Amino acid sequence: MTAHIIDGNAIAAEVRREVATGVTSLLAAGGEQPGLAVVLVGNDPASHVYVANKVRQTDTVGMRSFRYDLPADVSERDLLSLIGRLNADDAIHGILVQFPLPQHIDSRRVVATINPEKDVDGFNPLNVGRVATGMMDVLTPCTPLGVMRLIRSVHDDIAGLGALVIGASNVVGRPMAQLLLEAQCTVSIAHIRTTDLAARCRQADILVVATGVPDLIRGADVKPGATVIDVGITRVDQPSGKSRLVGDVIFDEAVKVAGAITPVPGGVGPMTIACLMANTLSAARAAAA
Ligand code: GUN
């Protein structure tokens, strides 16, 4: 048996089309054009690529983008003061500060300063608490939101299924577990220190792997017919001198065992920015209500 390969590029395009239609309806109803502020601190090359993509896609779906490039040595006070101005600006409905931030800046203080109603990353403690208490019509972290959409593309109902999330980060693992719990899965959270990881994987109907450890999960670790979502994306050098992107799951093995699986690249990756667009539209709709 070969698994159904979940096409993240196609599903992300579907989400962007829905957002573009939503923007048109909002404008037709007299609402304001949604605006997203993207703040980039320093020169991390990967962050530059992500931010350029976020800005481009914001424009593509008919929203306004506002990009702020700050030097790596910007003071925390100046960054917080910019966020204060963005919080007060009615043309801006979403604020995203790209991570990682330089060491001298306290990331927790930064996310706590973003107005929760403009927190399109869903990282502000108020939004984290809302999701943890089962409030689902709130701004929710983009990658887990995207993963749920991918899972729902192959399952009508996941209530009662066993889900294992590997990785306990604030950006993916923890909110992912909350969303699966809210969908009435029986959820476990594991991480790279978990003992008997392979045996636990083999029990999971839905396996979400988000560790950043390439090739952590083998085909033999996957329950036959399971849905496997690979959030990991790591660039590795090859003997040929070229590099390639790999996930946390050995795809060529797992595809022979799983019922459905996401590839890397082209699985979860495209969903994150598409869901950022959806969150920005949600924030703009809430501001117009
Ligand atoms: N850096 C890597 N992923 C993310 C994300 O989802 N949001 C932000 N703000 N920074 C990131």
Is residue 137 part of the annotated active site? The answer reads no
Residue 65 confidence (pLDDT): 98
Measure Cα distances from 17 to 58, 62, 158, 267, 274 in Å. Answer: 12, 10, 25, 18, 10
Measured in Å, residue 73 CA sits from the centre of ligand 1 at: 20
The answer to the question of residue 16 being in a domain is no
The reply to whether 46 sits in an annotated binding site is no
Instruction: Among 47, 86, 99, 118, say which to mutate for ligand 1: greatest number of ligand atoms within 8 Å of CB.
Output: 99
Number of domains in the chain: 2
Task: Name all residues whose Cβ lies below 6 A of ligand 1.
Answer: 96-99, 121, 142-143, 171, 272
Q: 219 and 112: one domain?
A: no
Is residue 121 part of the annotated active site? The answer reads yes
Residue 154 confidence (pLDDT): 98
The answer to the question of residue 222 being in a domain is yes
The reply to whether 22 sits in an annotated binding site is no
- Tens of pLDDT, residue by residue over 97-106, are 999 999 999 9
Residue range of the domain that includes 216 = 141-270
Residue 1 confidence (pLDDT): 76
pLDDT, average across residues 152-168: 98
pLDDT, average across residues 236-262: 96
The reply to whether 260 sits in an annotated binding site is no
- Cα–Cα distance, 148 to 174 (Å, whole number): 14
Residue 166 confidence (pLDDT): 98
